[in-house]
């Protein structure tokens, strides 16, 4: 983190140090894709909260849903001009307590008001929500093992992965801290808080709402007053999260590539500030297109979780650890040239097997067992990614067939 020549500022920098310098390019691209998909998802969920309040309180959404999303995109273009997360720390901290308030409001709402059935009409008539051919709701049911296809069951795994997907921005958060070594304390506290609250919250809501538990649960409570309160807080926390994800997503590309590889000005300079402002506008324009093109929160959550977050949280860390151990052992025969200030390799991976033997077999049985375990865990995570991707794609196809809100149209998914 504090290296003068090779500081780790992004997840792609970690890939470059652990595996190879060229590895940072595909990883930075994938991280950028995740960040911009997250921003599109947040635009969609914020617009959906506004739309639901209009539908529930006025009987209809008088605005075009695509325009609802556009308004929040334009607001983020303005707020995204803040280039340092340090200026945003106290506001971001308040979002934690607002999210806890949303959890409390939702739990009270499901206990006293039951489900709000209107939001499930986007999934069409029939099971598991309605009687065949109608929008008459089925009785609430809870299951230890949810019925349905394998794709439906894996879809739940996508949601769990999405909820625990913070590893993607660990490096970026540490880079913004005055004392990066304090990060592990904050992460431990945050993960413990999330574990306790999410487990209790999820079990409580499912116990009352059963199959009518929505991916953004506060939108599926029957009490109008509590639903409105939850939506207002969701909008506020959504704006905070959008600015955070937008800031990190742009920095991945701007600082990770444009400054280092194409000599773009630093964001602390006047020219860099102007360039940053331009990239903010382009970034949120793309996020708006993505949010409007996939007008279903559950489908977008599944896609982001399967293709991006699962890999950043599980697949890539195992790969990095395996490659780092192999590179360290392979380099034992190398020497340092004090005159050229370069490391001279004793052999090559492409000429003979000596370097491969050291990389894979050096260190005794225990170290070889650790390498083998890391490699198989990497393969298992990759296989899980394939299953989750299949589920996410299948879910998105099903949503497109039943959802009244189609891409780039005015119809609201909650109307």
125-142 pLDDT, tens digit each = 888 888 888 889 989 988
Per domain, the residue ranges of the chain are 11-310
Q: What is the mean pLDDT of residues 129-157?
A: 83
For residue 148, which of 161, 131, 129 has the smallest C-alpha distance? 129
Q: How far is Cα 68 from Cα 75, in angstroms, rounded to an integer? A: 11
Q: Is 286 exposed, middle or buried (0-12, 13-18, 19+ CB in 10 A)?
A: middle
Q: Which of 2-11, 48-57, 177-186, 300-309 has the largest mean confidence?
A: 48-57
pLDDT of res. 24: 84
C-alpha pair distances (Å), 393 with each of 34, 35, 160, 161, 320? 16, 19, 17, 16, 28
Q: Tell me the pLDDT of the chain averaged across its residues.
A: 84
Dihedral (Cα; 158, 164, 166, 167), 10-degree rounding: -80
Report DSSP state, residue 407.
T
Assess contact for 9 and 248: CB atoms under 8 A: no
Region of residue 210 (left: phi > 0; alpha: psi -120 to 50; beta: else): left
Neighbours of 145 (CB within 10 A): 6
User: Which candidate, 107, 138, 114, places its Cα nearest to that of 203?
Assistant: 107
End-to-end CA distance of the chain: 49
Residue of 236, 244, 10, 283 whose CA lies nearest to 102: 236
Amino acid 2: pLDDT? 60
| pLDDT at residue 108 is higher than 70 | yes
pTM value is 0.82
Query: What count of Cα atoms within 13 Å lies in the side-chain half-sphere of residue 412?
Result: 26
pLDDT of residue 357 exceeding 60:
yes
């Amino acid at each position: 983190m504090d290296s003068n020549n090779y500081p780790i500022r992004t997840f792609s920098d970690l890939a470059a140090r652990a595996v190879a310098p060229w590895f940072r390019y595909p990883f930075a691209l994938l991280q950028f894709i995740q960040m911009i998909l997250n921003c599109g998802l947040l635009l969609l969920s914020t617009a959906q909260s506004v739309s639901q309040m209009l539908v529930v309180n006025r009987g209809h959404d008088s605005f075009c849903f695509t325009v609802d999303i556009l308004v929040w995109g334009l607001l983020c273009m303005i707020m995204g001009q803040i280039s340092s997360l340090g200026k945003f720390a106290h506001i971001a901290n308040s979002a934690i307590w607002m999210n806890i308030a949303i959890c409390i409001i939702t739990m009270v709402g499901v206990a006293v008001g039951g489900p709000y059935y209107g939001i499930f009409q986007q999934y069409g008539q029939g099971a598991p929500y309605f009687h065949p051919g109608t929008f008459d709701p089925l009785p609430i049911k809870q299951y230890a093992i949810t019925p349905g296809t394998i794709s439906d069951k894996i879809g739940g795994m996508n949601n769990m992965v999405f909820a625990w997907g913070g590893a993607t921005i660990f490096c970026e958060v540490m880079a913004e801290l005055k004392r990066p070594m304090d990060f592990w304390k904050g992460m431990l506290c945050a993960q413990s808080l999330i574990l306790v609250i999410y487990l209790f919250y999820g079990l409580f809501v499912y116990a009352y709402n059963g199959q009518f538990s929505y991916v953004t649960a506060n939108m599926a409570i029957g009490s109008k007053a509590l639903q409105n309160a939850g939506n207002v807080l969701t909008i506020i926390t959504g704006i905070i999260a959008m600015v955070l994800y937008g800031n990190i997503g742009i920095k991945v590309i701007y600082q990770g590539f444009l400054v280092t590889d194409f000599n773009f000005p630093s964001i602390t300079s006047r020219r860099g500030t102007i360039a940053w402002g331009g990239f903010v506008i382009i970034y949120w324009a793309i996020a708006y297109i993505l949010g409007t093109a996939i007008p279903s929160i559950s489908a977008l959550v599944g896609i982001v979780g399967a293709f991006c977050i699962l890999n950043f949280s599980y697949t890539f860390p195992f790969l990095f650890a395996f490659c780092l151990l192999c590179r360290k052992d392979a380099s034992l025969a190398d020497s340092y040239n004090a005159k050229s200030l370069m490391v001279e390799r004793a052999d090559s991976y492409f000429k003979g097997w000596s370097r491969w033997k050291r990389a894979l077999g050096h260190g005794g049985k225990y170290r070889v067992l650790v390498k083998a375990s890391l490699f198989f865990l990497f393969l298992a995570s990759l296989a899980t990614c394939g299953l989750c991707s299949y589920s996410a794609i299948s879910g998105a196809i099903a949503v497109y067939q039943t959802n009244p809100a189609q891409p780039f149209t005015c119809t609201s998914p909650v109307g």
